[in-house]
Structure 1
Amino acid sequence: MVVSDAVQTGPFARRTLLKGGAAAAATAGALLTPGRARASGPVFRHGVASGDPLPNGIVLWTRVTVSDDAAPGSGVGAPAAVRWELADDPGFASIAASGTATATADSDHTVKIDATGLTPGREYWYRFTALGETSPVGRTRTAPAHSDTPDRLRFGVVSCANWEAGWFGAYRHLAARSDLDAIIHLGDYLYEYGRGEYGGRNGAVRPHDPAHEIVTLTDYRIRHAQYKTDPDLTALHALLPFICTWDDHESADNSWSGGANHHDPAVQGSWQDRRAASARAYLEWMPVRANGSGTNVQIYRRLRFGTLAELSMLDLRSYRDRQPSPGPGWREVDNPARTITGKAQMDWLTAGLVSAPVRWKLVGNSVMIAPLVFPPLEPATTAAFTSALGVPQSGVPANADQWDGYTADRQRLFRAITEQQVGDVVFLTGDIHSSWASDLPIDAANYPAGPTAGAEFVVPSVTSSSIGEVLKTAPRTVAVPIEDSIKSFNHHMRYVELESHGYGVLDVTEERSQMDWFYLADVTDPATGVRHGASFAVPSGGRIEPRPAPVL
């Protein structure tokens, strides 16, 4: 990959919409591929994407179909020369950076460019050319300079998009907005299940490829490619940079460093081989920066947006110990030797939060960190009780796959935040197919007394089955008393909605960080409408409070 040293700058249009595909008509010239006839269909069948914006750089992505038999995962197809261009304008009159790369079968003919030398805080347009064809035009933007003080930032926040469970209307509605800086994807970008294996009220709305559960590198490549053909996801990728982390379904359900709940080595082979295959396909097909390879990939990283916010994206699968089992295994929840982050990532996270020279410390967090226990117990006065019953000191966790299964790590992090007087920390979370707004108390049983380490906003699934769908009950019936019960036991949880699919929009200013939840009418309808669900904000130095619906 070659990046031009010459960078041209022009007028900065803060909110300019992509003008269809008109700019794509300009072609940078035919590039030859030796030894293979070109594809009879589109060369750029999987769209374009960008991600991980820096003040002076952005990751650009595409996939080249060099021939009809060189399908994703096939491992065949000759190399293809690819030219990329990044421009100050959608007509590509002013080229800011350009270069060439080679798409090969070794990387599944994907191309990922880390374009540098760019101007902070501005929009760019980009495209690729290969085999005489030019890709659709993508729009992206760089982050503000570290010294800049943006008035506000707005991020679309999403997680848990299961192809079989419905259509990706959440992506379509986010793409229709003109006020977003980036999309934060908190994991479960795709699902590993075979056809019909992930239940819910809707059944399989559209079938997965391949038909079986994905295990091999070929399998993961095919599944990634299928998701990249969804028109709503393709459109959103072309409009905004993504900032992503993985959760478990990018590899296997409830994965941990040494395996997964749904991985049987006797049937599916080595977990380390499967994990390496899933990570390799993810890095090939996603516009993310990462270090390392195989099972030693590091994707936790930090992105800064002027003096207003810094975003730390976590990896809560690669280093964690195995989830404790119900019953006698619950006491392992409190074991100080167990970790969800791994020591190196925990040190990196706490050091970054303590030293961040910004107002808002945002954390991209794939599983819920707010305590959710029944009931929350106060350790100083309940030690004998918890010891006699064999339950964790803080109470019985509802889901030990979350931070509730790793209470020592959570306490280490919360105490570092409170003891170092780190203010304005907000965790952004996915995973549980529901919506939550919570303060983060050091001691949940004493809330609202005592210190809090920040706030957490959990966004719903794009499509993946919610509690109501799993129970196959009528909407807003059984779920409502469950929501009320959760809040009655866990007073720090200010908002709980367990059924709706959709997305969040995080609106950040100096004064507050606000999450607005938007819910889809019907994920089985590709033209589904959307409605505002709720809004909660955490004022700088304060705690979560409800807010009125945003004016759009």
Structure 2
Amino acid sequence: MSFLNRRRFLAAAGTATAAAGVLATRTAVGAPAPGGPFRHGVASGDPLPDAVVLWTRLTPTADALPGSGTGPTVRLEWEIASDPAFRHIARSGKATATPDADHTVKVDATGLAAGTTYWYRFRYQGTVSPVGRTRTAPAAGEAVGVLRFGVVSCANYMAGHFSAYRHLAARSDLDAVIHLGDYLYEYGNGEYGPGPAIGRGHEPAHEMVSLADYRRRHAQYKTDPDLRTLHAAAPFIVTWDDHESANDAYDQGAENHTEGAEGSWTTRYAHARRAWGEWMPVREPDPRRVHRRLVFGGLADLSMLDLRSYRSRQVEQDRLGDVGDPDRTITGDAQMEWLKDGLATSRARWKLIGNPVMISPVLFPPLPEDIARPLADTTGLLPPEGVPYNVDQWDGYTADRRELLGHLRDRGIDDTVFLTGDIHSSWACDLPLDPGTYPAGSPSVATELVGTSVTSDNLDDITRSQPRTSSLAVETAIKGANRHVKYLEFDSHGYSLLEVTPQRVQMDWVYISDRTDPRATARRAAGYQVLAGSNRVSPAAAPLAD
């Protein structure tokens, strides 16, 4: 779900220089691709110690536009090198772009050296694509001193410019970018965000439902220069949340889907899943499965969850007593067993979990009238007295949460950190099994670090109040009622920087000055750390070094 969506408000309250020589202007990392066959740029993802996925989208002829299903089947070349001038080619080959795959191209470049930076590019009929920079994962079991990740989520094209991506792409120290979902949004123009008013209308202009719609929307997002630059700067590790299909999606439908008028959910979901698989740099040994695990030496495992495909329908506001029903699930049985087994058998110091929706329990107390009333007027569904749970998050599936956190406690599994998006705000939380008796009666068994949105509406946007004014009362009330919540900021957009060492995990939140300004500046606002063995968050001793 969105932190603030159009029908409910349940949560209430980095770029290196590239090739020299005659190709320099064409092969700079993240260089613009205006027109031509490589107008959607390049990307990489899912790094392994010996392989990485390389991606591009080819436009071979004028009619082979995204979603058209037309155009020829053509061959193109790819190469990956250990230097930006491509003097030392590590691997190369040919690939095929077909209309059946919307002319998207994915190559699993294998036989690479572990823990190594590479540069890659594609060629088609004498035209060279922009150059991308990527990096393989460290060797299995290797003693790794440090990892750095960018962490992002919730990027609504209509809501603002992707300046957060631009600032993150300027870094040269990223092992990967972790994208936690809501990479794009399904809404039509005028439904969610200023859109055309800031020159950022969606394509197509209507809500995406068909396969062609989803393909065209993915294509539009990959023409954004800041997103293209970030894709070319570092490999992505992605999962999806609801807006890649439709708001508040679950296994049999979605809040923003109407059977009949918009066709069957099974068909729409299949369209969304197919387009996502085509347009994202993901490795898909099983095209029906999104959840997967990547290993970074002996330092960290990263388990990316899919919390949309298998979940039960969200409970209604008048059935909140059903949130603990053991027959209801957010993960599905098979994914839960996969996750628990991975945590129990991991040999890594840190168990990182890419978690699309928030797992920390949050009880929302009554809100001040001057906050509650505008929210109720905007969403139409927030009662003035506040709501006790965000039922689209793990708060709506408490049996699954108790099973997972109990597994960590019973197995003595330390150093598990959930990395979360979705809620368009910034949080650092301890994760007790029983928040009511925390900390004395129920110590923390894990931690959660939540990154804010790239552009999607947060609290001050929805209430149309000045940043850091009315939100302060909500933050204070929530932290007062939820002692395990140590940091909370509801108003800012941006990205997070995550550093992992044997001694600690630290997240720094970096906020942009104005999402509607394409030249927005960025500043580091806060940092929290988790010391090894502590299972607790605490303020970071110092900002992460640039």
Structure 1 60/507 Cα, relative in aligned 2: closer, same or farther at 3 Å? same
1:483 is the counterpart of 2:475:
yes
- Alignment equivalent of 1:492, drawn from 467, 484, 490: 484
Q: Distance in 1 between matches of 2:492 and 2:337?
A: 36
Shift of 1:147: 2.3
Matched residue type, 1:544: V
Tell me the secondary structure at the aligned position of residue 499 of structure 1: coil
Shift of 1:16: 9.1
Q: Distance in 1 between matches of 2:277 and 2:56?
A: 12
Map Cα deviations across residues 177-199 of structure 1 (whole Å, 9 max, x no partner): 12211100000000000011004
Partner of 2:501: 509
- Alignment equivalent of 1:445, drawn from 410, 420, 436: 436
Tell me the secondary structure at the aligned position of residue 210 of structure 1: coil
Matched residue type, 2:170: A
Partner of 2:334: 344
Tell me the secondary structure at the aligned position of residue 538 of structure 1: strand
- The answer to whether the 8 A contact 2:26-2:130 is kept is no
Q: CA RMSD in A?
A: 2.1
- The answer to whether the 8 A contact 1:205-1:524 is kept is no
Matched residue type, 1:50: S
Structure 1 200/546 Cα, relative in aligned 2: closer, same or farther at 3 Å? farther
Moved more, 183-192 or 85-94: 85-94
- The answer to whether the 8 A contact 1:40-1:67 is kept is no
1:432 is the counterpart of 2:423:
yes
Shift of 1:70: 1.0
- Alignment equivalent of 2:275, drawn from 278, 281, 285: 281
Partner of 1:410: 401
Shift of 1:292: 3.6
- The answer to whether the 8 A contact 1:201-1:472 is kept is no
Structure 1 153/461 Cα, relative in aligned 2: closer, same or farther at 3 Å? same
- The answer to whether the 8 A contact 1:324-1:330 is kept is yes
Q: Distance in 1 between matches of 2:195 and 2:94?
A: 48
- The answer to whether the 8 A contact 2:20-2:85 is kept is no
Shift of 1:267: 0.6
- Alignment equivalent of 1:545, drawn from 508, 514, 538: 538
Shift of 1:149: 1.1
1:466 is the counterpart of 2:458:
yes
1:68 is the counterpart of 2:59:
no
Map Cα deviations across residues 362-403 of structure 1 (whole Å, 9 max, x no partner): 000000000011469xxxxxxxxxxxxxxxxxx964310000
- Alignment equivalent of 2:290, drawn from 296, 299, 308: 299
- The answer to whether the 8 A contact 1:256-1:320 is kept is yes
1:92 is the counterpart of 2:86:
yes
Matched residue type, 1:247: D
Partner of 1:353: 343
Q: Distance in 1 between matches of 2:347 and 2:365?
A: 38
Structure 1 363/310 Cα, relative in aligned 2: closer, same or farther at 3 Å? same
Q: Distance in 1 between matches of 2:83 and 2:461?
A: 45
Matched residue type, 2:478: I
Tell me the secondary structure at the aligned position of residue 266 of structure 1: coil
Structure 1 27/427 Cα, relative in aligned 2: closer, same or farther at 3 Å? closer
Counterparts of 1:201-350 in structure 2 under 5 Å? 205-293=199-287, 297-327=288-318, 329-350=319-340
Partner of 1:10: none
Tell me the secondary structure at the aligned position of residue 234 of structure 1: helix
Matched residue type, 1:339: T
1:120 is the counterpart of 2:114:
yes
Identity score, percent: 57
Map Cα deviations across residues 461-507 of structure 1 (whole Å, 9 max, x no partner): 00001111001111111101100000000000000000100010011
- The answer to whether the 8 A contact 2:530-2:538 is kept is yes
Structure 1 238/108 Cα, relative in aligned 2: closer, same or farther at 3 Å? same
Partner of 1:363: 353
Partner of 1:7: none
Structure 1 270/358 Cα, relative in aligned 2: closer, same or farther at 3 Å? same
Q: Distance in 2 between matches of 1:204 and 1:448?
A: 47
Map Cα deviations across residues 200-239 of structure 1 (whole Å, 9 max, x no partner): 7996551000000000000000000000001111011111
Q: Distance in 2 between matches of 1:185 and 1:361?
A: 17
Map Cα deviations across residues 130-153 of structure 1 (whole Å, 9 max, x no partner): 122111111101000012111111
Partner of 1:36: none
Shift of 1:549: 2.7
Q: Distance in 2 between matches of 1:396 and 1:461?
A: 22
Map Cα deviations across residues 148-178 of structure 1 (whole Å, 9 max, x no partner): 1111111000000000000000000001112
- The answer to whether the 8 A contact 1:196-1:203 is kept is no
Q: Distance in 2 between matches of 1:200 and 1:369?
A: 30
Tell me the secondary structure at the aligned position of residue 261 of structure 2: helix
Map Cα deviations across residues 231-290 of structure 1 (whole Å, 9 max, x no partner): 111011111000000000000000000000010012100101000000100010000112
- The answer to whether the 8 A contact 1:48-1:136 is kept is yes
Structure 1 unaligned regions, length at least 5: 1-14, 29-38, 377-394
1:420 is the counterpart of 2:395:
no
Q: Distance in 2 between matches of 1:396 and 1:162?
A: 26
Moved more, 214-223 or 123-132: 123-132
Matched residue type, 2:267: D
1:136 is the counterpart of 2:130:
yes
Shift of 1:54: 0.2
- The answer to whether the 8 A contact 1:199-1:470 is kept is no
Tell me the secondary structure at the aligned position of residue 267 of structure 1: coil
Partner of 1:18: 17
Tell me the secondary structure at the aligned position of residue 232 of structure 1: helix
Matched residue type, 2:513: A
- Alignment equivalent of 2:181, drawn from 184, 187, 191: 187
Q: Distance in 1 between matches of 2:57 and 2:21?
A: 21
Q: Distance in 1 between matches of 2:162 and 2:62?
A: 27
Shift of 1:25: 5.7
Structure 1 325/22 Cα, relative in aligned 2: closer, same or farther at 3 Å? farther
Structure 1 46/491 Cα, relative in aligned 2: closer, same or farther at 3 Å? same
Structure 1 23/214 Cα, relative in aligned 2: closer, same or farther at 3 Å? farther
Structure 1 115/122 Cα, relative in aligned 2: closer, same or farther at 3 Å? same
Q: Distance in 2 between matches of 1:495 and 1:420?
A: 28
Map Cα deviations across residues 280-328 of structure 1 (whole Å, 9 max, x no partner): 00010000112444xxx1010000000110000000000000000101x
Structure 1 260/496 Cα, relative in aligned 2: closer, same or farther at 3 Å? same
Q: Distance in 1 between matches of 2:528 and 2:518?
A: 29
1:145 is the counterpart of 2:136:
no
Matched residue type, 2:454: V
Q: Distance in 2 between matches of 1:457 and 1:203?
A: 33
Matched residue type, 1:146: A
Map Cα deviations across residues 79-109 of structure 1 (whole Å, 9 max, x no partner): 1111111111111111111111110100000
Map Cα deviations across residues 426-458 of structure 1 (whole Å, 9 max, x no partner): 000000100000000000011112232210000
Q: How many residues end up aligned between the 2 structures?
A: 506
Tell me the secondary structure at the aligned position of residue 108 of structure 2: strand
Structure 2 unaligned regions, length at least 5: 1-13, 28-32, 367-385
TM-score, length-scaled by structure 2? 0.90
Q: Distance in 1 between matches of 2:237 and 2:509?
A: 19
Partner of 1:373: 363
Matched residue type, 1:473: S
- Alignment equivalent of 1:173, drawn from 167, 170, 174: 167
Matched residue type, 2:17: L
Q: Which has the higher contact order (CA 8 A, sep 6+)?
A: 2
Q: Distance in 1 between matches of 2:140 and 2:286?
A: 27
Q: Distance in 1 between matches of 2:430 and 2:136?
A: 31
TM-score, length-scaled by structure 1? 0.89
Matched residue type, 1:513: V
- Alignment equivalent of 2:447, drawn from 455, 472, 478: 455
- Alignment equivalent of 1:527, drawn from 519, 527, 540: 519
